[in-house]
Amino acid sequence: MSPRSTSGEEPPMRRLREKLTKENMWLYVLSILRERPAYPYEISDIIERKFGWRPARVTAYIVLRSLLSRGYVKMVQKRGKTGKMRNYYEITDSGRELFERGIKFLEEIREKLLNPPEDGHDEDLV
């Protein structure tokens, strides 16, 4: 029987899930901003609804600030649904490029895991 965490998930799966979600939240944020501008407070809700996990609300602010400082998103003031002015974030061209490179990297890893390259050393593993 494999050891499980208190959440019932094996430690390797828990680590994988954390690495591909919380620790790389920038991918999720850029994915959302590709569809439409968003303000920080709603990012966590959108991630939960679209991707099935919920980051801490403060994390959205931290990730957006980091993306903004690197030029991957820009901030614009717009009037929200309630009429209040809000700081919305929009993806920039460099943010789109970064997102595409991130997705391409994940696709390449997936392909290599499912179809390891032939290197002639398979018989050594048996």
Domain-located, residue 118: no
Nearest to 117 by CA among 107, 108, 126: 108
Per-residue pLDDT for 51 more than 50?
Answer: yes
Domain-located, residue 4: no
| Average pLDDT for 48-64 | 94
Tell me what pLDDT residue 126 has: 47
Domain-located, residue 126: no
What is the secondary structure of 13-67 as a DSSP string? HHHHHHHHTGGGHHHHHHHHHHHS-B-HHHHHHHHHHHHS----HHHHHHHHHHH
Domain-located, residue 29: yes
pLDDT tens for 66-98 read 999 999 999 999 887 888 899 999 999 999 999
pLDDT tens for 103-124 read 999 999 999 999 988 875 655 5
Domain-located, residue 117: no
Domain-located, residue 51: yes
Local confidence band at 1 (pLDDT 50, 70, 90 cut-offs): very low
Tell me what pLDDT residue 120 has: 56
CATH number, domain of 35, equals: 1.10.10.10
* Cβ atoms within 10 Å of 113's Cβ, excluding its own: 8
Tell me what pLDDT residue 119 has: 72
Domain-located, residue 35: yes
Our count of domains for the chain comes to 1
Domain-located, residue 93: yes
pLDDT tens for 14-44 read 999 999 999 999 999 999 999 999 999 899 9
Domain that holds residue 84: 11-106
* Cβ atoms within 10 Å of 89's Cβ, excluding its own: 25
What letter would DSSP give residue 123? Answer: G
